[in-house]
Amino acid sequence: MRELLIGIELLSGLALIVAVLLHSPKGEGLGSIGGQARMFNNPYKELEAPLNRITYGLATIFMVAATVLGLFF
Amino acid sequence: MESILTLFRVPELRKRFMFTLAMIGVYRLGSHIPISGVDLQALQGLFNQGGLLGFVDLFSGGALGRFSIFALGILPFINASIIMQMLTFIWPKLKELAEEGASGHKQISQYTRYLTVILAFIQGIVMSIGFRNFVLPDVHFVFFVFYAVVGLVAGSVLVMWLSEIMTENGIGNGASLLIFVGIISQLPFFIKNTVVLLSGGASRVGVIAMVVVLLVMIVSIVFMQEAQRRVQVQYAKRVIGRKMYGGQNTYIPLKLIQGGVLPIIFASALMQFPLVISEYSGVQVLKDFFSTYYRYDGVLYNGVLCFLIFFFTYFYTAISFNPKDLADNIKKHGGFILGVRPGRPTEEYIEKIVTRLTLVGASFLAFVALVPTIASNVTQVTSFQGLGGTAMLIIVGVALDFVKQVETFLLNRRYEGLIE
């Protein structure tokens, strides 16, 4: 059981890294001058909906696996 | 009070606010999820000794002391941002890209994200090897390093993503909000420590004096962040058809501290670098050197801090503010600054003003960063020592940014209403 969970955490972690990097950069990071956010435009919003769902899913799996591991093992 | 209510009354704003809160919730939750295989109690002991490692922990909101999946937190992203911004100055290819406008900026931020992963990877390796003494005995060490590094990098990337979607769908800049939350979440411990100190027989006057100093600092930070120099501009009259335009006096507001909180965040992020290296490398000579000289109340630490604050304040003003553009714009619209010729003289005039303003701004920031250290030395109330002036500057600055963003949003909405 423990090995399975560790495997899940590792795989989802690696996939999460890839998924986040696949996203188009949002805003301009912390580098955006003056640290202001751009609240109004993002042309890629529609295109990224499936990727968003995948990322949310992976993030959830990763965090849940880590939580269970931390709590019970 | 009124503005707090509007935060909930406007549906779009409410949605954004709730999103921000939810993401902060996820962040806090994640910083409590440990990477298994580490003796957490022993680790806590190390961090409770206080000192500078405590400050690194403060930045991550306690995630480091728990060796959680968010232990690296937002720091790799910030460091990557700093490095990329520096490189943009030095490397011609990147500079070209930056001048391309929006698409070039996008490309640069994509590079920043790759760099974040690389930095997180390096930091993760160093950190998990550095914690070798705390690994539980039944865990294989090589496997632990592999497992921990993947966990740490994934966590750090996740935090980066959280900050990005917060910037996009929430209110305020995600990255600085996450740092803000991290610092705020550690506040109760500082208060608790103060109470312990008081019951241990510390002087009441000292504590009160300390609190007063902190309050005065908050007020003065707000004041200085908002301060601006108004340069008068006179516009010429123009007649188009039967109407007459222009001819009025306006002013250009030049902010005292152009970069806002960013110089402080960058400076304090960089301050942690040598410390983290010495702590994890395990080289005793380095460790001894840093624990003797690189201390909160030490001259070296505060000197370096002041220098970095000055450097980043000027650096930020240099990249975020272009006097030539401003002078050109004034000229294009038929305006001029009273007593200064348009074009180059105007550019030089504005540059001179900004340089002076930045000197005042940077001195103020450095001063604020030092005051708590001095005050705690004078009053002997050491419980706030970890908090420091930089943390206060970040808290106040981020809060101000947040409020400003809400105001901008409301303004935007009001104009939309007019057009409809």
Tell whether pTM > 0.90.
no
Distance (Å) from the alpha carbon of A50 to chain B's nearest alpha carbon: 15
Query: CA B217, CA B368: separation in Å to the nearest integer?
Result: 7
Size of interface A-B (CB pairs under 8 A): 135
Q: Give the mutation candidate from B15, B164, B176 for the A interface (greatest A CB count, under 10 A).
A: B164
Subunit contact A26:B319, Cβ cutoff 8 A: no
Subunit contact A30:B113, Cβ cutoff 8 A: no
Is the CB of residue A16 less than 8 Å from the CB of residue A59? yes
Give B85's contacts in chain A (Cβ within 8 Å): 31
Query: CA A54, CA A61: separation in Å to the nearest integer?
Result: 11
Q: Is B85 on the interface with A (CB under 8 A)?
A: yes
Helix, strand or coil for residue B336? Answer: strand
Instruction: Work out the pLDDT band at A37, boundaries 50, 70, 90.
Output: very low
What's residue A31's pLDDT?
Answer: 43
What's residue A33's pLDDT?
Answer: 37
Query: CA B359, CA B365: separation in Å to the nearest integer?
Result: 10
10 Å Cβ neighbour count for B129? 16
Q: Is A54 on the interface with B (CB under 8 A)?
A: no
Q: Is A4 on the interface with B (CB under 8 A)?
A: no
Residue A6 in any domain: the answer is yes
Q: Give the mutation candidate from A11, A30, A71 for the B interface (greatest B CB count, under 10 A).
A: A30
A34: DSSP letter: G
Q: Which single residue is written with the structure tokens 């059981």?
A: A1
Q: Where are the domains of chain B?
A: 2-419
Residues 6+ apart with CB under 8 A from B65: B43, B44, B47, B48, B57
Subunit contact B109:A28, Cβ cutoff 8 A: yes
Give B320's contacts in chain A (Cβ within 8 Å): 33-34
Give A30's contacts in chain B (Cβ within 8 Å): 77-78, 81, 163, 173, 175-176, 262, 265
pLDDT of A6 above 80: yes
Subunit contact B157:A16, Cβ cutoff 8 A: yes
10 Å Cβ neighbour count for B349? 17
Q: Which single residue is written with the structure tokens 């409410």?
A: B14
Nearest to B168 among A13, A27, A73 (CB): A27
Query: CA B249, CA B12: separation in Å to the nearest integer?
Result: 36
What's residue A14's pLDDT?
Answer: 92
Half-sphere exposure at residue B410, Cβ-oriented, CA atoms within 13 angstroms: 16
* Spacing of C-alpha A18 from chain mean position: 9
Q: Is A16 on the interface with B (CB under 8 A)?
A: yes
Q: Give the mutation candidate from B144, B161, B404 for the A interface (greatest A CB count, under 10 A).
A: B161
Query: CA B259, CA B314: separation in Å to the nearest integer?
Result: 9
Nearest to B161 among A35, A39, A55 (CB): A55
pLDDT of A36 above 50: no
Half-sphere exposure at residue B285, Cβ-oriented, CA atoms within 13 angstroms: 0
What's residue B35's pLDDT?
Answer: 83
What's residue B191's pLDDT?
Answer: 81
What's residue B159's pLDDT?
Answer: 92
Residue A11 in any domain: the answer is yes
Give B35's contacts in chain A (Cβ within 8 Å): 66, 70
ipTM over 0.90: no
Subunit contact B172:A66, Cβ cutoff 8 A: no
Backbone angles phi and psi of B90, in degrees to 5: -90, -40
Q: Which domain holds residue A10?
A: 2-24+43-72
A8: exposed, middle or buried (Cβ count in 10 Å: 0-12, 13-18, 19+): middle
Is the CB of residue B252 less than 8 Å from the CB of residue B230? yes
Q: Is B317 on the interface with A (CB under 8 A)?
A: no
Query: CA B414, CA B189: separation in Å to the nearest integer?
Result: 42
Q: Is B147 on the interface with A (CB under 8 A)?
A: yes
Residue pLDDT tens, chain B, 420 long: 566 777 777 788 888 889 999 999 999 988 888 887 777 777 777 666 655 566 667 667 777 777 888 888 888 888 888 888 888 878 888 888 877 777 777 788 888 889 999 999 988 888 888 777 777 777 788 888 888 899 999 999 999 999 888 888 888 888 888 888 888 888 887 788 778 878 877 677 878 888 888 888 888 888 888 888 888 888 777 777 777 766 677 888 888 887 777 888 888 888 877 777 776 666 677 777 777 777 666 788 888 888 999 998 998 888 778 888 888 888 887 788 888 888 888 899 999 999 999 999 999 988 888 887 788 777 777 666 666 777 888 888 888 888 888 887 777 776 665 554
* Spacing of C-alpha B389 from chain mean position: 13
B2-419, which class in CATH? mainly alpha
What's residue B336's pLDDT?
Answer: 81
Could you give the number of structural domains in chain A? 1
Pick the closest to residue B84 from A48, A22, A43, A25 (CA basis).
Answer: A25
Give A25's contacts in chain B (Cβ within 8 Å): 106, 109-110, 112-113, 164
Half-sphere exposure at residue B362, Cβ-oriented, CA atoms within 13 angstroms: 21
Residue A57 in any domain: the answer is yes
Give B175's contacts in chain A (Cβ within 8 Å): 29-30
What's residue B289's pLDDT?
Answer: 74
> Which tokens sit at B404?
């400003």
Dihedral sign, CA of B218, B165, B268, B316?
negative
Is the CB of residue B141 less than 8 Å from the CB of residue B132? yes
Which residues in chain B (251-310) have CB-CB distances under 8 A to chain A? 258-262, 265
What's residue B104's pLDDT?
Answer: 78
Query: Nearest residue of B to residue A64 by CA position?
Result: B33
Give A62's contacts in chain B (Cβ within 8 Å): 69, 154, 158
Nearest to A29 among B81, B150, B151 (CB): B81
Q: Is B84 on the interface with A (CB under 8 A)?
A: yes
Subunit contact B258:A34, Cβ cutoff 8 A: yes
For chain A, the straight-line distance linking the first and the last C-alpha, in angstroms and rounded, comes to 10
